[in-house]
Amino acid sequence: MLDRPDLSDEQIHVCLLDTYGLHTTGIEFLPLGYDVHAGVYRVRDADGHAYFLKVRHDTVYEPGIHVTRYLKAQGMSQVVAPLPTINGALFGQIESFAALLYPFVTGESGMDAGLTDAQWVTYGAALRTIHETRLPDDLAHTLSTETFVPHAPALRVLRQFQQRVEQEQFDDPLQQQLATFWLNHHAAIRHAIEQTERLGQRLQAHRLRFVLCHADIHTNNLLLTPAGDLYIVDWDQPMLAPTARDLMFILDRGIGFGPDERQEALFFEGYGAAEVDPMALAYYRYEWLVQDLGSFAEMVFLRHDVSEATRQDSARLFMVQFAAGNLADIARKLDEKI
């Protein structure tokens, strides 16, 4: 989230003291990520220890917290799990925001820093461990299970503006700029919508093996420390799904910012042999594209509570999806294979 949540430092201080027993001496907002429902901070206590605070303005997916704690208890050192509150609750509350506190990992994202050869192997081995983890039945039954039904809110936004950009002139310059771009890519956007739904319907009739998936495990959700350690963060929506749900970030350049061929080989040196259903891989690429396009369009056309910088960044990200070698191009190339 690029925009700071509507919370004062004093509100955060009181929550962390009452909920976690943490006496903060410093609170710094970090303009990171593209989740408009979440904001993140670096906070420090009286002893100089740093923590990572995430506040969410929507519902917290509690099974995700339980999954990280289970993996951590099984000895998976690469997982970063939220800390329990004083009374053992999963998270705290600041006004209408949920508050999740984590250890602060000093480092850079894998996307910014780039992974070493050894880290690509570690990345693959860590994801293999996740996919091979058998959760206790009571935890597994709480997780979302893939239904191959595309993201409904994103589809609604895209369908709405597929019509509006043909019929309206927008007074807002940024909206008109995006509407003009949209008209020039009208057929490609329509194809993405239709192909996502078509593939989803076909996959609903398939019998595929489901495993535990992180569901957002691209290199921007890897933290690399100066010592070379690798950590996996942002466990907001782990789910039971085919391996393609995670491996789409690796195979054939991922979703536009994935590994090159040599790095992909290093990843699979750690991961091992993989059988990926090509139809599932195509579905996830299209579904990701549709979800991103819907979210970015919503920021530009429908949200009045975000900054101009966020709106401009959303318009840029919408348009960059159609650049050569990016997600729309990568998804379209799978059409011939299926």
Specify the higher pLDDT residue, 151 or 226: 226
Mean pLDDT over 93-118 rounds to 93
297 to 69, 145, 310: CA distances (angstroms): 35, 27, 12
| 284 vs 326, higher pLDDT | 284
**Do 152-206+277-333 and 1-104 fall under one CATH topology?**
no
* In contact, 119 and 224? CB cutoff 8 Å: yes
In this prediction, residue 255 has a pLDDT band, given cuts at 50, 70 and 90, of: confident
DSSP 137-176: HHHHTTSEE------HHHHHHHHHHHHHHHH---SSHHHH
The share of the chain scoring above pLDDT 90, in percent, equals 82
Whole-number pLDDT of residue 334: 86
Amino acid at 326: N
User: Is 86 or 254 the better-scoring residue by pLDDT?
Assistant: 86
Distance CA 290, CA 196 (A): 8
The dihedral of CA 289, 290, 292, 297: what is its sign? positive
Predicted confidence at residue 256, as pLDDT, reads 66
The reply to whether CATH 3.40.50.300 applies to domain 1-104 is: no
pLDDT band of residue 252 (cuts 50, 70, 90) is confident
What is the pLDDT, as a whole number, of residue 2? 66
Q: What is the pLDDT of residues 60-104, one digit of tens each?
A: 899 999 999 999 999 999 999 999 999 999 999 998 899 999 999
Q: What is the pLDDT of residue 52?
A: 95
**Which CATH number is 152-206+277-333's, of 1.20.58.840, 1.10.760.10, 3.90.105.10, 1.20.1110.10?**
1.20.58.840
Where along the chain do its domains lie? Answer: 1-104, 152-206+277-333
**Residue 67 is which amino acid?**
V
Beta carbons within 8 Å of 134's beta carbon, 6+ residues apart: none
The arithmetic mean of pLDDT across residues 40-59, rounded, is 92
In this prediction, residue 34 carries a pLDDT of 67
Q: Are 271 and 251 contacting, i.e. CB atoms less than 8 angstroms apart?
A: no
Alpha carbons 145 and 238: distance in angstroms, whole number: 9
Alpha-carbon distance of 72 to 129, in angstroms, equals 12
How far is Cα 211 from Cα 308, in angstroms, rounded to an integer?
41
Phi and psi, residue 100, nearest 5°: -120, 125
Mean pLDDT, to the nearest integer, of 190-215? 96
Residue whose structure tokens are 């996740």: 130
Task: Compare 278 and 257 and report the one with higher pLDDT.
Answer: 278
- The predicted-structure confidence for 308-336, as pLDDT tens digits, reads as follows 999 999 999 999 999 988 889 988 988 88
Are 33 and 1 within 8 A, CB to CB? yes
Per-residue pLDDT at 221 exceeds 90? yes
User: Can you tell me which residue has the tokens 């004062």?
Assistant: 8
- CB 96 within 8 Å of CB 271: no
**Residues 27 and 55 sit within 8 Å (Cβ to Cβ):** no
DSSP run (H or E) holding 213: strand 211-213
User: What are the residues facing 45 on neighbouring strands?
Assistant: 24
Residue in 318, 310, 169, 331 with CA at minimum distance from that of residue 253? 331
